[in-house]
Chains A and B, each alone.
Chain A
Amino acid sequence: MSNEVLISVNNLSKKFSKDLKRSLWYGLTDISKEVVGISEKSKDNLRKTEFWAVKDVSFELKRGECLGLIGRNGAGKTTLLKMLNGLVKPDQGDITMRGRVGALISLGTGFDPILTGRENIYVNASILGIKKVEIDKKVDEIIEFAELGDFIEAPVRSYSSGMVSRLGFSIAVHMKPDVLILDEVLAVGDAGFKMKSLNKMYEIMNETAVIFVNHNMATLSRVCNKILYLKDGQPQFFGDNVLKGLEMYLSQFDDEQGFIDYNGKGQFNELVISSNIDRGFDIKGRPILNHGDDLIIDFDYNLEPSCGLHELSIVISNKDFLTLAFHKTGPIQNTASGQNKARIRIPKLELTNGEYSITFKMVSITENDELPENYATYRHWKKFKVEGLNTFNSVPFMVSGELEVLS
């Protein structure tokens, strides 16, 4: 049953024109070429204002596999999905799809706003080529899964975007597709529905090949067992080392400089990250630490002498800019000159392998619930790398525990 290749893509390419007027004109000429039956050669060359939206993509996907498709906005993800679903014709290469394809390309799925949810289920299903008797059997299940309740008899235009995508997702997964294409569908659902959808995906995954576009790295690492990373239409990574693929994708944001937000009273002169054991630096000059080392941060900063008590704090984020940990020093007395030096030591770092960034903050001390004054915030200003503990799982921390064997 599994091991059966459902999608196979060979050197697939597609070009688009950036200029609307030209794109329309090329459309017209392409149609006439199609009708005459000549086209092959000219497809390899880019015409004026054209670019490759997808270039030389090849992969195979079997039943039971879930491919996470990642890339920045405009990297060619949706174009690739549209070709897989037969909406758009490739310019080079070929695609072979086996079995029934269920696809949710972008949000909403061509629902008619005036018709009720129930009527739309029937329209949608017949679009997918499913007979009425078959839908009759499933319609209650679809409605129940989408959690629409009485809204199912209301026109779809009164639905929220979350409700629309819930209904779309529910229809798609209940049609027992062999291939399921999900383009950012879970992005607008609420937490409860996301959970439920992921569970449903696990459930149908054994019988389905899934292609999944999502920008949430945690979700991708949980669901997918293969990653295809596109950059400017070109595949940068394809394979079943999911973490490596995600790392590669995230590392393109490395050069994204952090930004400074300060009110002129405080300023960090120097911020140095090190550890109790010197492990050197990586190629980008970022300090390397091992899991379990002490993380040491040296501050050299100025603060206007009129500001007396203040405190320092740090926030550690991962590559996905997800906030992981926070530490604050408590009150520090300003020096008379306003020049200060301080060191924060975080013993036995529990972070797992990966790259992290630190946001540094200098704020006033306040009483009660007053908001502190922000002297300086240097967001994602310094980065460091942790090595030596591979969890093969995208978890940020490895906590220590004590085992007691009870008989």
Chain B
Amino acid sequence: MSKKAESGLKVTVYTPKSSLSNPIIMAKALLSDVYSSRELAWRLAVRDISAQYRQAALGIVWAFVLPLVNTFTWVFLSQSGVVTLTETAIPYPVYVFVGTMLWQILVDSINAPLAETTAAKTMLSKLNFPREALIVSGIYKTLFNALIKVVLVITAIAFFAIYPSFSLLLLPIGLISLILVGTAIGLLITPIGVLYTDIGKAIPLFMQFLMYITPVVFAMPSGGLAEIVFKANPFSYLILTIRGWITNTPVEFLDGFILVNILFFIMLLFVLLIYRLAMPILIERMSS
């Protein structure tokens, strides 16, 4: 809570009251902090990206090596007949490759808020800065890695002689919606994840499981329990729609895609508030 005093100095008041007791002021402060943290977020992102590549011999390879290995695994499994999969409209390697790349972007953005907050522990316990900068910086980093993946994906579809249509121009919307959904989920688990490390350990397991009930490496099943599960899974609509745009195949569930985005956008606003309220309580429990 801060306002300008007569002397022109910024006045900041700290009380035990929940900031929610005055929701309008809090929402204003939240928005202005998100806005004023742009420069800091950018700097933090540049810092992390350059630090990351300064210490890694393989550099940007790490941005796409996981989906690449995943693709090879599934292509091998299907080609060798170990598993039999439903036919896909486009060549299977492209299907898996695009799918796992998109999936990885989603996983990255789910991981980002918790990872950023945990990594900034010492900073958080010593410096007062708009903490939303950590989230924005995480988004920048995910976006940077996503762009590398996008370049690869476009190269791959060109290699398989799939001619993109104008729908490829919708890809930025796809990226934004992946990051929107991922960030909302990531932010929701961050407060608990900072307190209990179990959460951080459970995410990869859970995401692995989720991937198999999402049409990432499999085609959308028709009929049976599988179809119900896949359709109840909001991620299905994201992956199917965006992959459709990239590979120029008909998009079946656009309404689902839009609905998912609206729901997660509302959720994002809500979890941003929770994050802000939770932060001082979390910092109390971080060792400096």
Contact = CB atoms under 8 A, between A and B. Distances in A.
A179 B147 CA distance: 43
A112 B120 CA distance: 10
A407 B195 CA distance: 77
A191 interface: no
Nearest to B120: A110
Contacts of A115: 47, 50-51
Interface string A17-36: 00000011001101101110
Among B122, B128, B195, the one with the most A-chain Cβ atoms within 10 Å of its Cβ is B128
Contacts of B10: 98-100
B219 interface: no
Interface residues of B, number: 49
B130 to A, nearest CB: 8
Nearest to A110: B123
Nearest to B125: A87
Interface in B61-95: none
A47 interface: no
B196 interface: yes
B281 A89 contact: yes
A101 interface: yes
B169 interface: no
Interface in A78-99: 78, 82-83, 85-99
Among A16, A34, A86, A178, the one with the most B-chain Cβ atoms within 10 Å of its Cβ is A34
Contacts of A40: 16-17
B133 to A, nearest CB: 8
Interface string A334-366: 000000000000000000000000000000000
A203 interface: no
Contacts of B18: 33-34, 37-39
A178 B127 contact: no
B15 interface: yes
A127 interface: yes
A114 B49 CA distance: 11
Interface string B1-24: 000010101111111111111000
Given A86-B14, A129-B36, A31 B274 contact: yes
Contacts, number: 149
Contacts of A141: none
B285 A112 contact: no
A89 B283 CA distance: 9
Nearest to A4: B7
Contacts of A96: 11-13
A109 interface: yes
Contacts of B196: 24
Contacts of B189: none
B21 A127 contact: no
A108 B125 CA distance: 11
Contact of B47 (A30, A33, A87, A119): A119
Contacts of A31: 191, 274, 277-278, 281-282
Given A34-B277, A87-B280, A89-B16, A126 B11 contact: no
Interface stretch (B37-45, B97-105, B234-242, B250-258): B37-45
Interface string B183-204: 0000000011001100000000
Contacts of A110: 120, 122-123, 126-127
A243 interface: no
A63 B12 CA distance: 16
A109 B281 CA distance: 20
B281 A30 contact: yes
A105 interface: yes
Contacts of B195: 24, 27-28
Contacts of B208: none
19 contacts: A24-B195, A24-B285, A27-B281, A27-B284, A31-B191, A35-B278, A37-B20, A85-B127, A86-B12, A88-B284, A89-B281, A90-B14, A96-B11, A97-B13, A99-B10, A103-B127, A105-B126, A123-B43, A123-B44
Given A31-B277, A94-B14, A105-B127, 17 more contacts: A31-B278, A34-B19, A34-B277, A35-B273, A35-B274, A35-B278, A86-B128, A87-B125, A89-B280, A90-B14, A98-B5, A98-B9, A98-B12, A108-B126, A119-B47, A126-B40, A127-B40
Interface of B: 5, 7, 9-21, 36, 39-40, 43-44, 47, 50-51, 54-55, 120, 122-129, 191-192, 195-196, 273-274, 277-278, 280-285, 288
The 6 closest A-B pairs by CB, nearest first: A110-B123, A89-B280, A114-B51, A99-B9, A34-B277, A37-B20
